[in-house]
Structure formats: structure tokens, C-alpha cells
Amino acid sequence: MTEKQAKQISKFLSLVLRHKPQLLDLVLDENGWADVEVLLKRMQRESKAITFEQLEFVVKSNDKQRFAFNEDKTQIRASQGHSISINLDYEAVKPPEFLYHGTPVKFIKPIREKGLLKMKRHHVHLSVDIETATKVGARRGKPIILSISALDMHHEGHKFFMSENGVWLTDNVPPRFIDFK
């Protein structure tokens, strides 16, 4: 399988495992897990047939480790980024002092007013380093990097979760915890 093919499959998996399982008549359980055997059969039905080994390759080689298998690899889910209602069941953990969020310049005004909101996703996504935050923000134009006082938020009762692929998640970030520079 080429890198390009793996990327295409990864995009399709993001779509069905995070946003539209109905495209494959797939049922995700309350924690977002899909049955691997059913997934492969339904992909075949949609002329997107891949083997189990190819699925393993896509999961393993994914640049952001977007997907995870359960222990015996009978189930698969997206590790974050959902818009459909599922419970990822991550435990709340203490964050580092600062986390980062990259966003296009055009969103700065509403963020100054309302803080960071989760918009269509389940959480606000934050990065441990400026480099990653810059990549995230650059998806939509020239990014600005906001520094978030995560530890202060934690001390004031905001919960933080770390996804299996190292993305920090929280419900919202009020403006007073954001350094706009």
C-alpha cells in the first residue's frame, strides 16, 4: 500500500469513526468502538475493500496516531476529534503549566470575547508544543499561537484529558487563561 492510499483510507476512517458511521451503517458503542470485522465487510460493500493487515498498517503508520485498536484488535476507534456523541472515557489528569492552541487570525476577536469553545467537536484541542499548535492552526490560514495557563485552569477546577495520541482535551478555555501576546 502506498503512503497516498494509506492517507486516503485514514481520511475515510476519520469520517466514519468520528463523524458519520451511518455512511457504513456502522454502530459505534458508547465509547466509540466499532467492530473491526463489520467495518472491513462494510468497506468491501462500498468498494473500499482493504484487508485486516492493510488496516493494521494504516493504524500503525498514521502520522498522528489517530486510531487505536482494543487489546485483541477486534475493535477500532478514533482516539479524538469526534463530532458524534460518544464517551472516550479518558481519566482527568493534571496538565503541564502551559498548553498551546493554534488558530487563524480571523478567529481571534471572538476568542477574546468568549474564550476557546469546542465548536463542533467534543472538546477544545490543545497541544503540548508550539510546533504542533502551529500545524493545527495553519490548516485554516496564517495561524496565531495562543498560550494557555493550563495548570491555573486545573487549580480552578477545569478538567483536562489526554487522548491516546497525546492531544490535550478540555471543555472550554475562558479568555482570562489565554495569553494573546
Q: Does 107 bind ligand HQG (CB under 6 A)?
A: yes
- Say how far apart CA 116 and CA 176 lie, in whole Å: 11
Distance in angstroms (rounded) separating the CA atoms of residues 176 and 114: 10
The answer to whether 169 contacts ligand HQG (rule: CB under 6 A) is no
Q: How many CB atoms lie within 10 A of CB 86?
A: 19
C-alpha–C-alpha distance, residues 104 and 116, integer Å: 13
Interatomic CA distance for residues 136 and 26, integer angstroms: 29
CB of 75 to ligand HQG, least distance (A): 19
CA neighbor of 112 nearest in space, from 173, 171, 175, 172: 175
Pick from 10, 103, 149, 170 the residue near ligand HQG by CB under 6 A.
103
Applying CB under 6 A, does 110 fall inside the site for ligand HQG? yes
Question: Which residue's entry shows cell 478514533?
Answer: 78
Per-residue x/- track, 69-88, ligand HQG (CB under 6 A): ------------x-------
Choosing from 7, 121, 158, 159, the residue that interacts with ligand HQG (CB under 6 A) is: 121
Residue identified by cell 487522548 is 163
What is the CB neighbour count within 10 angstroms for residue 51?
11
Residue with smaller CB distance to ligand HQG, 38 or 88: 88
Copy the grid coordinates of residue 151: 495548570
Residue with Cβ nearer ligand HQG (81 or 95): 81
Answer for which of 9, 24, 76, 167 binds ligand HQG (CB under 6 A) is 167
Q: Which listed range, 25-33, 69-77, 120-128, 147-155, lies at the site for ligand HQG (CB under 6 A)?
A: 120-128
Q: How far is the CB of 127 from ligand HQG (least distance, A)?
A: 7
User: Is residue 58 within the footprint of ligand HQG (CB under 6 A)?
Assistant: no
Could you tell me where the beta strands, DSSP code E, fall in 8-142? Answer: 34-35, 67-69, 75-78, 98-104, 124-126
Give yes or no for residue 19 binding ligand HQG (CB under 6 A): no
Interface with ligand HQG (CB under 6 A): 64, 66, 81, 103, 107, 110-111, 114, 116-117, 119-121, 125, 136, 140, 167
